[in-house]
Amino acid sequence: MRATQWMAMAVGAWLAVSGGATAENVANFDDLPLGPDDYWNGSADPAAGGFATGAAFFNNIYVIDPFSGWAFWGGWSYSNMTDTTTPGYQNQFSAITGGAHSGANYAVAYPDTWYGVTPTVTWPQAAVLGAAYFTNTTYAYLDMLNGSPYSKKFGGSTGSDTDWFLLTILGKDGQGNPTGAVEFYLADFRFEDPAEDYIVDQWTRVDLSPLGEVWSVEFALSSSDLDLWDRMNTPAYFAMDSFVMPEPATLGLLAAGVAGLWMRRRRR
């Protein structure tokens, strides 16, 4: 094979790998309009089925129950709310950090088991993710910290209960097949030393590269706090911000590897 053909194939392979790592695949939610201390949960446009930021689409459902007249949402919302002290359901759109990881806006997810809605992010083509930032909502954080009429205080009265709250992130390819999974504990009280127990209250970077090349990513929550029917008592919410693509240094190493392969081929 000619050197020029080999180089063309190598560059094509590099572009295929890095093609998902473009700026349009970064989601930081600041291109979405919001007033001060406000949120979007689908009520303004229930037919939209979600919202887009960059090239990523975040699913959403907003329905009004015909019997009770109550409104329900599931999937994704976005917010810039800052309330870190008010407990309970009425404060479901605030991050415990009191603001976004970067900029003004961030996303809040709620898996709605009643309507079968899993928070999902999709792309129009394959994407390679570097990382994203996660934290608890104020609602979930204060419930785990103090307990509520509907959920327990993590660690129990003695602090020795081995409670946990887990976010599982599942990548999928264009055919819906799993590409990889990443787990992140939003709270963990399973340590031998209780001083190591924690409930996440800061934006925390989570490496998503083990997901590989994905067309969609699904997010699921699980908890040690269950009712008699194995339904989760912990409020099923988390906040996310700043999908980060592979850093330039990472792509540089990839490019160097491709160049090395080409040079090695030329020397043969």
Domain residue spans in the chain? 1-21+248-268, 26-245
What is the rounded average pLDDT of the residues 104-122?
95
Contact 94, 103 (CB under 8 A): no
Q: With 70 as the cut, is the pLDDT of residue 257 above it?
A: no
CA triple 48-51-54, angle to 5 deg = 145
Q: Residue 54's pLDDT is what?
A: 83
Contact 170, 65 (CB under 8 A): no
Local confidence band at 18 (pLDDT 50, 70, 90 cut-offs): very low
What is the rounded average pLDDT of the residues 102-114?
95
Position with higher pLDDT, 24 vs 242: 242
CA triple 28-184-105, angle to 5 deg = 20
Amino acid residing at 31: D
What is the rounded average pLDDT of the residues 180-187?
98
Q: Residue 22's pLDDT is what?
A: 45
Q: Which fold has domain 26-245?
A: Jelly Rolls (2.60.120)
**Residue 173: closest CA among 217, 220, 121:** 217
Helix (H, G, I), strand (E, B) or coil at 51: strand
The per-residue pLDDT for range 26-63, each reduced to its tens digit, is: 688 999 999 999 999 999 999 999 999 988 999 999 99
Residues 6+ apart with CB under 8 A from 230: none
Query: Among 143-147, 241-245, 256-260, which stretch is predicted with the lowest mean pLDDT?
Result: 256-260
CA triple 194-203-88, angle to 5 deg = 75
Position with higher pLDDT, 201 vs 248: 201
Q: With 60 as the cut, is the pLDDT of residue 252 above it?
A: no
